[in-house]
């Protein structure tokens, strides 16, 4: 056995194929349960990152610092998924490598994605409900609730093409984090592999479909409270755009499309071509 503390990229590619086969063969109940906890972990990290940085996010002069601080906390979500166990749709986009190697079928991959995506949504939504009714949004004289609304409204206000692009950029980094975590042989290596790419994606303002399953419902729930709505200080047009329909059609759909392109094509597809594709 190798004494290396990490796998080389070609070894990671082979490991991803094996992992894809295992994920494809998992029962629907297991995938749904592990998808549920993964969605909850991402939601908990999303809430925590907003809580710790919301005062900085309010002011334009400190906005970049606020995003950097938020990003430093958000990575806990993926660390929990990788270290504690969970099924995350965006990370599972790497299953495309198993598909390209003809070890799994389209049907098996899409089945996994659908079940895990559903579990992620249910877990994230439950945490959004808990946060909305926990009293946490009263923090900082309702500013935390106001920022929660502002974040959600900014996401539902994105043009479709921008949401797709931001989703692509996000899942390049998420899949790189998962890729490197697969290559680490100890828990410390896995933590660092997850931390830095996720810190970068949040600090950069990219869009993650599973995180948005928390951010936007939490904002919609918060907007029902006049105190939090007043603290949000958003325009009538932005508030009018903060709806369930816009959540699904104007954000979740394009961001998910972008996440799939970024994870499958720009990371999974490239690494399959580079390390596994048979040459004549």
pLDDT less than 50: residues of the chain: 1
CA-angle at 209, arms to 179 and 53, nearest 5°: 90
Q: State how far the Cα of 14 lies from the Cα of 272, in Å rounded to an integer.
A: 9
Give the distance from CA 76 to its chain's centroid: 11
- Given this model, what pLDDT does residue 279 score? 76
pLDDT at 3: 65
pTM over cut 0.85: yes
User: Residue 2: its pLDDT value, please?
Assistant: 54
Residue 172: how many CA atoms within 13 Å on its side-chain side?
Answer: 14
Q: How far is CA 213 from each of CA 65, 112, 177, 208, rounded to the nearest angstrom?
A: 24, 18, 20, 9
> What residue ranges define each of the domains in the chain, with the CATH number in brackets?
9-273 (1.20.1080.10)
- pLDDT value for 122: 98
Rounded CA gap, 70 and 45, in Å?
A: 9
pLDDT (tens digit per residue) in 113-134: 999 999 999 999 999 999 999 9
Residues making up the chain, counted from first to last: 280
- Give 97's contacts (C-beta < 8 A, 6+ positions apart): 13, 16, 17, 20, 268, 271, 272, 276
- CA dihedral (101, 106, 108, 109) positive or negative: positive
- Report the alpha-carbon distance of residue 251 to residue 217 in Å, rounded: 12
Query: What digits encode the pLDDT tens for the residues 43-55?
Result: 999 999 999 999 9
Taking the C-alpha atoms of residue 141 and residue 126, their distance in angstroms, rounded to an integer, is 25
Residue 1's pLDDT is 40
Could you tell me the two tokens for 52?
């710790």
What Rg value do the Cα atoms of the chain yield, rounded? 19
């Amino acid at each position: 056995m190798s004494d290396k503390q990490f796998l080389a990229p070609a070894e990671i590619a082979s490991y991803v194929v094996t992992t894809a086969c295992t994920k494809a063969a998992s029962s629907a109940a297991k995938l749904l349960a592990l998808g549920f906890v993964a969605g909850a972990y991402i939601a908990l990290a999303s809430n925590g990152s907003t809580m710790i940085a919301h005062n900085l996010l309010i002011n334009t002069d400190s906005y970049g610092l606020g995003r950097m601080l938020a990003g430093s906390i958000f990575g806990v979500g993926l660390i929990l998924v990788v270290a504690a166990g969970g099924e995350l749709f965006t990370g599972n986009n790497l299953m495309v490598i198993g598909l390209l190697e003809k070890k799994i079928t389209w049907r098996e991959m899409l089945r996994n994605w659908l079940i895990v995506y559903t579990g992620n949504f249910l877990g994230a939504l439950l945490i959004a409900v808990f946060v909305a009714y926990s009293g946490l949004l009263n923090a900082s004289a309702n500013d935390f609730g106001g920022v929660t609304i502002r974040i959600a409204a900014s996401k539902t206000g994105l043009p479709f093409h921008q949401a797709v692009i931001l989703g692509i950029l996000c899942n390049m980094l998420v899949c790189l984090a998962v890729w490197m975590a697969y290559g680490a042989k100890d828990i410390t290596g896995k933590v660092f592999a997850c931390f830095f790419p996720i810190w970068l994606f949040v600090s950069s303002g990219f869009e993650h479909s599973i995180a948005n399953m928390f951010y936007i419902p939490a904002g919609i729930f918060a907007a029902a409270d006049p105190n939090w709505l007043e603290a949000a200080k958003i325009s009538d047009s932005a508030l009018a755009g903060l709806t369930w329909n816009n959540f699904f059609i104007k954000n979740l759909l394009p961001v998910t499309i972008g996440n799939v392109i970024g994870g499958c094509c720009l990371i999974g597809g490239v690494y399959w071509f580079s390390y596994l594709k048979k040459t004549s």
